[in-house]
Chains A and B, each alone.
Chain A
Amino acid sequence: DAGVTQSPTHLIKTRGQHVTLRCSPISGHKSVSWYQQVLGQGPQFIFQYYEKEERGRGNFPDRFSARQFPNYSSELNVNALLLGDSALYLCASSPSRDRGEKLFFGSGTQLSVL
């Protein structure tokens, strides 16, 4: 069975540009979460989506947005990129929105902002 898949794996952008990252959850999983992992640090929560609705949001500016599609895949959008947005962006899926559900992470998209 395929795990969580993310695309692209690597991306280089310049300051001020916009980026869209994509995530396909494990088949049957309805919840998708996004995390940002800066080099040398632990992942930091950005969003959780369940049944196409935002269920939770972390402490990130409005430049960050996301959406979930009817097939439960998800996109993370970042506008007006800053150098500090350079990071590994991780997507995680789970079967339900329950707190106790195990999260399954993809391998991430490495974003470099120059």
Chain B
Amino acid sequence: GESVGLHLPTLSVQEGDNSIINCAYSNSASDYFIWYKQESGKGPQFIIDIRSNMDKRQGQRVTVLLNKTVKHLSLQIAATQPGDSAVYFCAENPNTGFQKLVFGTGTRLLVSP
């Protein structure tokens, strides 16, 4: 069925470190994933997406890796900054014929100076 989940609820890192946030999904037919960042008091903000025909996609300081064999994806943030502190969600975009995102529970990233 449609479900996404995260391994860790909270990740604490030092400023300048690289951060890795993990996400597992259960539906082997899932083919489109998006990472969102949600800061306190705000709605989710798009970070990066990846489709199943790719294993890796890079953006500005972020990289998403997709391992379809074990149904796992990760978000890597390079040189983490205090402004990266937020809750990060992976979301699946199932092929339903309409726009629908299925979000995981989220991982809180805490960046200390």
CA distance A45 to B98 in the complex (A): 11
What is the total number of residues of chain A having a CB less than 8 Å from a CB of chain B?
29
We find that the number of chain B residues with CB closer than 8 angstroms to chain A is 23
- In the complex, A90→B32 CA distance in Å? 22
Cα distance, A106 to B102, chains bound together (Å):
17
Asked if A45 and B43 make an inter-chain contact with CB atoms under 8 angstroms apart, the answer reads no
Chain B residues with CB below 8 A from A43, complex form: 44, 89, 101, 103
How many angstroms between the C-alpha atoms of A100 and B32 in the bound complex? Answer: 9
Report if A99-B93 is in contact (Cβ < 8 Å); known contacts: A56-B98, A56-B99, A92-B43: yes
Which B residues are closer than 8 A to A by beta carbons?
A: 32, 41-46, 49, 89, 91, 93, 95-106
Could you list 7 examples of A-B contacts with CB < 8 Å? A35-B101, A42-B89, A43-B44, A44-B103, A90-B44, A97-B98, A104-B46
